[in-house]
Amino acid sequence: MVARIAKSLSFSNVVACLALFVALGGSVYAANKISGKQIKKSSLPGNRIKPKTVPANRIKPNALTGKQINEKTLTGISAAALANVQYQAVQAELPAGGRSGIVTANCPPGAYAIGGGATLSNDERGTVNSSGPSPLRTGWQATGYSYYAFSRPTMTVTAVCVVVDKPGGAVNPGAVQYQPAG
């Protein structure tokens, strides 16, 4: 048996076996001896990093989107966060006799209108001409028109308000502003 092994030992076989052992031993050495400090920044692709091994403080701000976030794991976000949304509704009669009027539902101090709308008590007696945020976005404003001299339809204007800073107190009860147009 030794003669058989000796017969197959040549210089090239010995060198090939030696190279194989060095190559295998080198990768085992590298796996045990390379630390994170020796890896260049931005040199590892994401699919080479073990899941749940990168701490939050190592992630670039705004780098994650909804696709990377498991929404079930979010805490501190609930319907209570919508507590700053307030609705201000105002009713006013439009002037009679084919005239227009402007009605504004104002937001509380520190709040701005992000939406709103206007309706009439009787669409056959008038119309809402326009509806939108007030010039400084501190409320919702609508213009209405009364068709007849004998009727005064009531227009209801609603503002959807959001507090930008912390609210400065109670809701503003005097949120009505009425201006006859023309």
Residue 102 pLDDT: 93
CB-count exposure of residue 103 (10 Å: 0-12, 13-18, 19+): buried
Amino acid identity, position 29? Y
Residue 117 has pLDDT above 90, yes or no: yes
| CA–CA separation, 59 and 50 (whole Å) | 15
Tokens 């048996």 -> residue: 1
List domains and CATH numbers for the chain: 83-180 (2.60.40)
| 3-34 pLDDT, tens digit each | 666 666 676 666 666 666 666 555 555 556 66
Q: How far apart are CA 133 and CA 125, in angstroms?
A: 25
Which sign, positive or negative, has the C-alpha torsion 30, 34, 38, 41?
positive
pLDDT at 41 over 60: yes
Query: 112: helix, coil or strand?
Result: strand
pLDDT at position 79: 55
- With a cut of 50, say whether residue 168 has pLDDT above it: no
- The confidence band for 2, taking pLDDT boundaries of 50, 70 and 90, is low
Measured CA to CA in angstroms, residue 118 lies from 85, 90, 141 at distances of 18, 10, 8
Question: pTM value?
Answer: 0.48
Query: What's the distance, CA 11 to chain centroid?
Result: 69
Q: Which residue has the higher pLDDT, 12 or 81?
A: 12
